[in-house]
């Protein structure tokens, strides 16, 4: 009976291998899928506490189980990137995109690595791929082209985006930077002409083109565009530029003045355009002196212009035309408005005083300038000349002798000093010194003409 029971127990165990296995291996054996999940969750946990090395170890175990899981390589990329192991990070993200090229986030991982390492050329390749997912990345591509100095591509893309989505401050800043290099301006001119043809009611394209032409000193082309603008958008301030020119051509002075004042008062208007308009009006006033008061008002718009002294330039205009009274008026206005110690303007003014024989005024003002600029020989010269003409020879001699010490490498001025000193001594009755200084002037003149 006992043998029978033992035999029966042996048969039961033999028929139940699971029981035998449980007896020989007490720890439960997990399927590979469960191991993968455990390692993967472990990696997420370690990454969460910034223990990136252990996260990588867990992910490497995952890759042994599933060698083609794109998510594993993407997570490896994130952890390598956190450790600033950039090449490993890039290679991991790249492997993920090779397995699953339709996942945008894997490509973004590659872009992150390129951005952090400033590898902009490699980033361009990745961003071109990202654009297939979303065209918003074209904005990034513009910046990358700028960083790699591919300005032709940047400009083309900026114009494309401006056309499709409207302008942005950043793109306009990039465009200004590109156009500061003259070789790209022709491309932009063509683009703006095309934009004007497509959208004739969009003022900004006309304005940009006018400014480009102005910067290139192509004033006639700039005026031509303002006329087109005036035809399409008569209410535009910029259109008044074209109207002003037309009114001058038609000799309609009052209307020209109104357009000019609109332009000069506009804060939007380019200063070169304003100066061009004033010059045009100056020529018009020369033929139509009844508008001289309007010219005076126009000059006042330039009182705070640091680039050009408008009153002085108008003075020089009349100076060249030998219209002495007008030249004096504007030189004096320039000195009064800007600075009494403007050397160049005072010298121009003193020359005109000589032409108009205003020697008393010249003597007073030149002597005052000597006190302000005691080492400037020209003021001594004008003072001495004026005193000679007023027959105050002793004062003339003193001024001229003091000023001669400051004449350096200016043969013409030295000749003039000697002539005036000869005149002074002639007036004082010292004929010997008169001949001495006239002889010096003659010798210098011969030397100069050799």
Round to whole Å and give the CA distance between 58 and 413: 91
- Are the beta carbons of 175 and 187 closer than 8 angstroms? no
Residue 288 domain-assigned (yes or no): no
Average pLDDT of every residue of the chain: 87
Of 86, 105, 133, the last residue of a domain is 133
Q: Do 25 and 117 belong together in one domain?
A: yes
Global pTM reads: 0.55
Q: In this prediction, what percent of the chain has a pLDDT beyond 70? A: 92
Pick the closest to residue 285 from 323, 312, 230 (CA basis).
323
Task: Tell me, yes or no, whether 193 lies in a domain.
Answer: no
CB 91, CB 110: distance < 8 Å: no
85: left (phi over 0), alpha (psi -120 to 50) or beta: beta
Q: Per the domain annotation, does 411 fall within a domain?
A: yes
Tell me the pLDDT tens digit for each residue of 159-189. 899 888 888 999 989 988 888 777 788 888 8
Helix (H, G, I), strand (E, B) or coil at 307: coil
Q: What is the pLDDT of residue 211?
A: 81
**Range of 433's domain?**
363-450
Per-residue pLDDT tens digits for 203-242: 888 888 888 887 777 877 887 888 888 888 888 888 888 7
Are residues 328 and 423 part of one domain?
A: no
Count of the separate structural domains present in the chain: 3
CB atoms within 10 A of CB 168: 14
The CATH number that applies at residue 68 is 1.25.40.10
């Amino acid at each position: 009976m006992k043998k029978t029971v033992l035999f029966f127990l042996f048969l039961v165990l033999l028929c139940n291998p699971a029981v035998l296995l449980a007896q020989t291996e007490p720890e439960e054996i997990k399927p590979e899928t469960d191991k993968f999940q455990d390692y993967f969750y472990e990696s997420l946990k370690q990454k969460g506490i910034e223990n990136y090395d252990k996260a990588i170890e867990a992910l490497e175990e995952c890759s042994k189980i599933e060698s083609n899981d794109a998510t594993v390589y993407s997570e490896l990329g994130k952890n390598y990137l956190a450790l600033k192991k950039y090449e490993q990070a890039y290679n991991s993200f790249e492997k993920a995109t090779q397995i699953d090229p339709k996942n945008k986030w894997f490509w973004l991982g590659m872009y992150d690595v390129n951005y952090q390492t400033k590898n902009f050329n490699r980033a361009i390749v990745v961003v071109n791929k990202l654009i297939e997912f979303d065209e918003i990345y074209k904005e990034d591509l513009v910046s990358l082209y700028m960083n790699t100095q591919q300005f032709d591509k940047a400009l083309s893309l900026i114009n494309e985006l401006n056309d499709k989505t409207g302008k942005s401050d950043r793109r306009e800043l990039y465009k200004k930077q590109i156009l500061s290099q003259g070789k790209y301006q022709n491309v932009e001119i063509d683009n703006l002409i095309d934009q004007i043809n497509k959208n004739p009611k969009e003022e900004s394209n006309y304005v940009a083109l006018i400014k480009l032409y102005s910067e290139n000193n192509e004033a006639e082309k700039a005026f031509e565009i303002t006329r087109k603008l005036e035809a399409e958008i008569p209410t535009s301030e910029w259109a008044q530029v074209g109207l002003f020119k037309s009114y001058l051509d038609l000799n309609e002075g009052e209307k020209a003045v109104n357009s000019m004042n609109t332009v000069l008062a506009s804060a939007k208007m380019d200063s070169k355009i304003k100066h061009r308009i004033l010059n045009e009006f100056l020529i018009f006033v020369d033929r139509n002196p009844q508008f001289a008061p309007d010219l005076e008002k126009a000059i006042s718009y330039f009182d705070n212009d640091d680039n050009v002294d408008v009153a002085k330039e108008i003075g020089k205009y009349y100076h060249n035309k030998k219209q002495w009274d007008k030249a004096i008026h504007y030189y004096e206005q320039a000195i009064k408005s800007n600075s009494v110690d403007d050397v160049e303007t005072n010298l121009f003014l003193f020359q005109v005083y000589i032409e108009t024989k205003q020697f008393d005024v010249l003597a007073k003002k030149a002597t005052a300038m000597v006190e302000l600029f005691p080492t400037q020989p020209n003021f001594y010269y004008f003072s001495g000349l004026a005193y000679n003409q007023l027959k105050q020879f002793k004062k003339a001699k003193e001024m001229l002798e003091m000023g001669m010490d400051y004449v350096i490498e200016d043969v013409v001025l030295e000749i003039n000093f000697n002539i005036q000193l000869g005149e002074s001594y002639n007036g004082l009755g010292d004929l010997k010194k008169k001949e001495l200084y006239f002889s010096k002037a003659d010798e210098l003149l011969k030397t100069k003409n050799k």
